[in-house]
Amino acid sequence: MKSLYITSVEKYSGKTALCLALGKIYQERGLNVGYLKPFSLRPWRTGDKIADEDAAFVIDILGINAKPWEMAPVVVTSELLRDYLTSKKEIDYMPKVLEAARSLKERRDLLLLEGGGSLREGYVMNLATPDVAKKLGSEIIVVVKYCEDVCLLDDVLAAKFWLPNSLSGVVINRVPHHALSFVNNLVIPFLEKQGVPILGVLPDDEALAALSVGEIVDVLNAEVLTSCYDEEALVEALMVGAMTEDSALRRFRKQPNKAVITGGDRTDIQLAAMETSTTCLILTGNLHPSNLIIKQAENMSVPILLVPSNTMETVEALDKIFGKTRLGQKEKLDKFMGYVKENIDLDRLDKALEE
C-alpha cells in the first residue's frame, strides 16, 4: 500500500487542508483512503479516550470508518510527557505507530499521514518525521506557507535540510496575488535547481480563512438571540464597532461578509452594521440589545450572538483562530480542492508514490 506523509515547517501552513483535498481527490479515483497522525501535541478527549482533534475532523470529512483514537497512536498529554521523562527504563513509541499503520495498510489503498505542527516536533520521543516516514516507507510532502520572499526560500531550503534524502515535493501555500509572478518565475526555477521538487503553488484566498458563524458560537460560548441562524455562514473579517455612527458606516461599507463586535448598548453601531454586508453581530459584556434591534436583525437575517466577555477578550479569542480554521464547510472544501486540482502536479505526485 502507498503512503504519503504530509508535514510542514511551521504551524497553520495547511497540512490538514491538503490531507482533506488529496483524500477526496483519491477517493474520487476509487481508492480506499486511510489517515493516521503518528505524533500529536493536540490532545482531545472523547469519552474516556484521548485522541487528536485533527484526526477526528479528518475521518469525519473523509467518511473513514474508524475511531478517532485509532488514528492518533501517540497523543502527548502533560501526564504522558511526565511519565516519559521520569521513566527509569527506555520507552519506545515507534512500535505503537508502526502497528497502527500496519493495521490500516491491510484495509486501504492509500494511507495519508499528517505530521505535527512543524518538522521540529517528535524528536524528544524519537518520533521525528524523517524517522517515522522512513520506517513506514512513506513519500514526504512539505507544505510551506508564504510569508515573504526571503522567508519562503529559507523555509523551503530548511525543509530540504531536515529531509535530505526523503523529500518528494513541496507545496507552496497561500501565496498572495502580488507575489505569484515572483514565486512562479523566480522562486520555483531556483529551488528546482537546488534539487527541491515543487509540486505546485496555491493562491491565497481570504474566503478559505473565513470562520463560520457556528465556529464563532462554539469558540465564544455565545448565546444566539435570533431565530435567523445559519451556522455555515462565513465571516471573512472582524470589525470592532467603537466609533461614531458616521465613521462606522463608512468603514462597514468597505468590508463585506464581516462580523461586527460591539457592546449591547451601542444601538447606533448595531443599526449601522445591519445596513451593510454583515454576517453576524457579536454583542459583548452580556448586554442584551433592545427589542428593536432584535426585530431588525430578524428582518435582515443577521444573527445576533451574545457573549459574556468584553470586547478586547472577544477579539483576542477570535484572533487566535481566525485564518486557522478548517475546511469543514463544503463550499470552502470544494474551492480548496479546485485550487489543488488546478495548481498541483498530481501526475508528478503519482509518480513519486509509484517509485
CATH topology of domain 211-319: 3.40.1390
pLDDT of residue 106: 74
Residue ranges per structural domain of the chain? 2-207+325-354, 211-319
* HSE-CB for 12 with a 13 A CA cutoff: 9
For residues 272 and 262, the answer to whether their CB atoms sit within 8 Å is no
Instruction: Determine the Cα angle at 77 with ends 73 and 79, to 5°.
Output: 115
2-207+325-354 and 211-319 in the same fold: no
Distance CA(335)–CA(331), nearest Å, equals 6
Dig out the grid coordinates for 270 from the structure: 448595531
Dig out the grid coordinates for 339 from the structure: 485550487
Positions in the chain short of pLDDT 70: 1, 323-329
For residues 220 and 282, the answer to whether their CB atoms sit within 8 Å is yes
Distance CA(145)–CA(92), nearest Å, equals 33
Distance CA(43)–CA(78), nearest Å, equals 10
Distance CA(176)–CA(190), nearest Å, equals 19
Superfamily of domain 2-207+325-354: P-loop containing nucleotide triphosphate hydrolases (3.40.50.300)
pLDDT of residue 330: 72
Dig out the grid coordinates for 305 from the structure: 450572538
pLDDT of residue 327: 67
Q: Which residue has the cell 445576533?
A: 304
Distance CA(135)–CA(113), nearest Å, equals 13
Which DSSP string do the residues of 110-145 spell out, in sequence order?
EEEEE--SSTTTTGGGT--HHHHHHHHT-EEEEEEE
Distance CA(203)–CA(36), nearest Å, equals 27
pLDDT of residue 324: 59
pLDDT of residue 248: 81
pLDDT of residue 157: 96
pTM of the model: 0.79
pLDDT of residue 48: 84
- CA of 191: how far to CAs of 154, 156, 172, 273, in Å? 10, 8, 12, 47
SS3 content of the chain, % helix, strand, coil (to 5): 45, 20, 35
- Three-state DSSP class for residue 33: strand
* Residues near 264 by beta carbon (within 8 Å), at least 6 away in sequence: 283, 284, 285, 286, 287, 288, 289, 306
User: Which H helix or E strand runs over 160?
Assistant: helix 149-162
pLDDT of residue 131: 93
pLDDT of residue 65: 84
